[in-house]
Amino acid sequence: MDVDTTTLERMRELKQQGFFCSQILAILALELQGRDNPALVRAMHGLAGGLGFTGETCGALSGGACLLGLYAGKGRPGDEEDLRLNFMIEDLVKWFRDGYGAEYGGIRCTEILAGSPQAQATRCPALVAGTFQKVKEMLVENGFDLAGPDDD
């Protein structure tokens, strides 16, 4: 999956600033929307390192599911539930499991990083970039504007 060099460079900047996989995904999506939301970025920190650095489900995958929710989730009492959301998340999990999960022995951080001291420096950026690209493709395929919902 091809990711543009601008996105990769931005990801590197964010990592150097101390952000983690799930937070980087949130920041990239917010930047697509022309928004800033420190509360959302803080909340995404809980997904980093496989749910609070417990090694569970990869933060790129759980963060990607959150990005889909950022676009398709219910945000206010009067909002209608978008039935596409759960289907998109299901497709994302299948894509992640069939690709990265098959390659690295699972979708948990401990599985993805197992047996390779350099794995975090090499595998994680690829997973984050690939997931961000896949989420964008899924959103566009399902008729969402990457500039985000008009709900201010």
Kindly report, residue by residue over 114-126, the tens digit of the pLDDT.
867 677 778 888 8
**Is 59 inside any structural domain?**
yes
pLDDT at 152: 55
pLDDT at 149: 77
Structural domain count, the chain: 1
Residue 27 tokens read as: 């920041």
Domain assignment of residue 135, given as a range: 5-73+82-140
- pTM listed for this prediction: 0.92
**Is 116 inside any structural domain?**
yes
Separation CA 66–CA 22 (nearest Å): 9
**Is 125 inside any structural domain?**
yes
**Is 150 inside any structural domain?**
no
Long-range Cβ pairs for the range 85-88 (8 Å, 24+): 88/138, 88/139, 88/142
Looking at the predicted structure, is the pLDDT value of residue 4 above 80? no
**Is 146 inside any structural domain?**
no
pLDDT digits (tens, 9 = 90+) for 7-57: 889 999 999 999 999 999 999 999 999 999 999 999 999 999 999 999 899
**Is 147 inside any structural domain?**
no
**Is 131 inside any structural domain?**
yes
pLDDT at 29: 96
**Is 152 inside any structural domain?**
no
